[in-house]
Amino acid sequence: MMKKACDFMKLTTTLLLLALILLTTDTMGLAPKAEAAYAQSSDPMRVKQVYLDTIHMNEAWAAAADSTTPIVVAVVDTGVDLTHPDLAGNLVEGKNLLQPGSKPADDNGHGTNVAGIIAATLNNDKGIAGIAPNAKIMPIKALEADGTGGEARLGEGIRYAVDHGAKIVVLSLGLNKYSTYMADIVQYAEDHDVLLVAAVGNEGTSVKYPAAYPTVLAVGGVTPDKRADLRSNSGPELDLMAPWDVYTTALGGGYQYQNGSSMSAPQVAGAAALVWAKYPAMRAYQVRDLLEQTAEDLGPKGWDATTGYGLLRVDLALTQPYSEDRFEPNNRQDQATKLSVHDSLHATLSSAQDQDWFAIDAPYDGTIEMMLRSGDNTGIRVNTSTGATFTAGEAADSTVEFQVKKGRSYVQLQTVNRSRTSPLSYSLFTNFKIYRDPFEDNDKQYKAFTLPARSQTIRGTFHQKGDVDWFVLPIEESGTLRVRMSTDTARIDPAIFIQKEGEKGQTIDQSGDGVLEISPQMDVLPGQYYIRVSNAKDYIEPITGEYALEIEYNPKLIDPNEPNDKPYQATFAGAFSEYQGLMHKNDDVDWFQFRMDKDGLAQISLTNIPTSRTLYATVYDSSLQELAYFKSDYSADSLYIEKTLGQGSYYIKLQADKWFLSQMYRLKVGSYPLVSGFIDIDGHWAVDAISKLTQIGAISGYGNYRFAPDQMITRAEAASVMAKAFQLSKQKQLHFSDLSDSHWAYESVAKAVQAGLLDGYPDGTFQPDRPMTRMEMIQMLARSMNMTGKRRGNSPFYDVSETYWGVGILKQMWADGWIQGYPDGTFRPEEETTRAEFTAMLAKVIDR
């Protein structure tokens, strides 16, 4: 009995091990072919195929089944070089859709590039290595020699491939337009268990069709450092990434470097061919799922709109077991799997207790449409974070919809049968419908949405089939009108139609998909102006994207000064008053007159000049003798003029290089009396002192008729003034660390230091640009009068203590009547002194 028990235990162990082996190699009944790995490539140009290392092809070939059953991959493209030595042995009969009866020979090169990536012969001592040694290429010529083509031939090519034995169809091409026709073709391939692989496009915008259809494997491109190439299109339809740069077969039997998502997609097609050879019982959706679930995550964990599920890893697709529910664990909201708004997936609810949570990031406000298909028509409960609850899956195809706001929403799935113990497989398809814009219903001209007659920008959508949007602008004043239409997706080819009621309209549709359309600037008269915005005529399906309509309306402005085309018609410009004007024709001239009540400086400012115009200003005296001529810079919007003039009347003549009506220039004329050559000291408390020192050449302004009396004076400026005021001639060589002999005030400082009027600081600096303090000023002036200070008596100021370093000087200067301080009894010795204060004190010293 013991021996039999032991034998039974051995048998049981053996069966368990066998079951474990079967479980890991025959998941869902998908047993692999007997493996006899391909040898690693010895092709001479393999070293140039760096992209193969990125997707780990050496490891993949080692793990692949050496299948004798070919997998036919249809290349719907420009054809293939039928005699290329690296391809000729791997071709099956194809089709030329452009010239029926002719062979599908390539006259562009693109199709040959694609075919070489998939099936260039391995280890034939020629050229490069194709990814799938078992693949046979079916060339289908659907594109013209320039690489262009339409959806009719594209669809015909896919259908031909499906009907003639292709298991995989690679489409390294795309359109921005959704069509029911192409959607039906894609479904035809899915129904016949054919895998479609397509490039997303290379414009850095929305994923192109057919890649954008949910069951098509959409492939983008990565750079050598595994970052999404900026040119690779992205969005909710993106599935996988593969290298962007390749080295592949070229037209004429050669080889070349190429790039783009067109070169990424065939890498995925080749990988799919290897997977199908190893797991021949797999369905197309399972091959698609396996490639996605074994991808190398590149961005945020899980799927994302920039890198999809990640980078193609052919080695992992051939070594990791397939999972019917690759999203586990996702039993809680915090474990929710990210799900695209345009997606198809297959998963399993293991029992009634199992829950599957998904997170959906909506790009706009709108509606999520979900279609559920359960394995045995068992009901599935759908709960959403928006509060909507549905039961689906009981019919062949159950569709539910729920409203979402832009951003993240959650969906929970659970079986309706709460006693179920067996797994329930299901398929889930998602679609997104963008919100209906607030201007609807405005699809007809008589339903046009009324906009205010002003410049504005509005945003709208094409949320339904054949959607167009009409607007009406009720214009009451003549003016100019310009309309712009832009979009955030290449799936909209903007078109604008503008029509004044009762007149013939014009259409603006000169650019392409996703490109800004701009109308010319139009002169408009009062009336109703209708504006229709639409997608190009063939783009009739709903679009996930927004357009922006920008209306620029400028009422015609009236020059209030006209007529002022002659000097005797000149508009009098009062001092510092603003006058506005226009140039209503190319030879228009505007004359203005102004008066100087005293000799002084005239200031003329012209602002708000259109930046695309040059304005000319000529100044005349009362006898119309030209005194000065000025002009604005073409790119500047202002012109400022200053000129010294005597008392009297003057004229300004304005002209422009071209008329303008939509923007008024602004003119302002002012005059300032000049006192000692300055416009900013008239009436100032220190005007006499400033004038005196200016007359003797001790002090000057800043070269623009300004003295800036209330600006702080620097130590260098004070030294310069003192050197000039006292006509100092001797100078001392200086050794201050912050004052080189190239400094503008070096000589003045050297003279002041030689005369004992100034010192540096203990740290060896002079700090020439530091504002001078009131105490430094008093000390400097006291030294000029040989005052050394006295210690007797109390400090005359509340804020100067007996220990303050300059208290002696302040006592003596106060006692001798040179300084008084402020009314509150303070002197504020460490406050900065102004140019006016310094000038006034110096003038007092000079007059002693």
Are 609 and 633 in contact by the 8 Å Cβ rule? The answer is: no
Shared domain for 803 and 705, answered yes or no, is yes
Per-residue pLDDT at 291: 97
Shared domain for 345 and 487, answered yes or no, is no
Neighbour count for residue 473 (Cβ, 10 Å): 23
Are 405 and 388 in contact by the 8 Å Cβ rule? The answer is: no
Residues (pLDDT < 50) of the chain are 1-29, 31, 34
Shared domain for 176 and 74, answered yes or no, is yes
Catalytic residue numbers, as ranges: 77, 110, 262
Q: Is residue 217 domain-resident? A: yes
Shared domain for 113 and 197, answered yes or no, is yes
Per-residue pLDDT at 376: 79
- 762: DSSP letter: T
Shared domain for 550 and 573, answered yes or no, is no
Shared domain for 735 and 831, answered yes or no, is yes
Cα(522)–Cα(527) distance, rounded to whole angstroms? 14
String of DSSP letters for 330-363? --SGGGPEEE-SSEEEEEEE-STT--EEEEEEES
Shared domain for 76 and 132, answered yes or no, is yes
Its pTM stands at: 0.63
Which strands make up the sheet holding 660-673, listed edge to edge? 578-583, 660-673, 600-607, 638-645
Q: Is residue 4 domain-resident? A: no
The tokens describing 251, both together, are: 């037209």
Strand partners, 170: 75, 197
Are 448 and 472 in contact by the 8 Å Cβ rule? The answer is: yes
Structural domain count, the chain:
5
Q: Is residue 433 domain-resident? A: no
DSSP E strands in 729-808: the ranges are: none
Per-residue pLDDT at 265: 97
Cα(705)–Cα(56) distance, rounded to whole angstroms? 77
Q: Is residue 722 domain-resident? A: yes
Cα(379)–Cα(398) distance, rounded to whole angstroms? 10
Q: Is residue 9 domain-resident? A: no
Question: Three-class SS string for 155-185?
Answer: HHHHHHHHHCCCCEEEECCCECCCCHHHHHH
Shared domain for 184 and 291, answered yes or no, is yes
Radius of gyration of the chain (CA): 43
DSSP E strands in 324-467: the ranges are: 337-339, 343-349, 356-362, 366-374, 380-384, 389-392, 398-404, 407-415, 424-434, 449-450, 456-460
Per-residue pLDDT at 26: 41
Cα(608)–Cα(586) distance, rounded to whole angstroms? 18
Neighbour count for residue 598 (Cβ, 10 Å): 12
> Which class for 680: exposed (0-12), middle (13-18), buried (19 or more C-beta within 10 A)?
middle
Q: Is residue 420 domain-resident? A: no
Q: Is 539 helix (H, G, I), strand (E, B) or coil?
A: coil
Domain CATH for 380 = 2.60.120.260
Maximum Cα–Cα distance across the chain:
139
**Residue holding tokens 């310069």?**
720
Q: Is residue 681 domain-resident? A: no
Per-residue pLDDT at 790: 78
Q: Is residue 213 domain-resident? A: yes
Shared domain for 485 and 385, answered yes or no, is no
DSSP E strands in 151-304: the ranges are: 168-171, 195-199, 217-222, 240-243, 245-250, 254-259
Q: What pLDDT, in 10s, does the model give residues 544-602?
A: 999 999 999 988 888 999 999 999 999 999 999 999 999 988 899 999 999 999 999 99
Cα(829)–Cα(799) distance, rounded to whole angstroms? 8
Domain CATH for 588 = 2.60.120.380
Instruction: Name the residue range of residue 597's domain.
Output: 567-673
The tokens describing 494, both together, are: 């903007």
> Which class for 681: exposed (0-12), middle (13-18), buried (19 or more C-beta within 10 A)?
buried
Q: Select from 415, 436, 466 the last residue of a domain.
A: 415
Shared domain for 360 and 268, answered yes or no, is no
CA proximity to 498, closest of 456, 557, 551: 551
Please list, residue by residue across 618-627, b when 16 or more beta carbons sit within 10 angstroms of its beta carbon and e when fewer do: bbbeeeeeee
Shared domain for 656 and 786, answered yes or no, is no
CA proximity to 173, closest of 215, 211, 222: 211
Shared domain for 536 and 627, answered yes or no, is no
Strand partners, 484: 518, 550
CA dihedral 178, 181, 185, 188 (to 10 degrees): 120
Domain CATH for 297 = 3.40.50.200
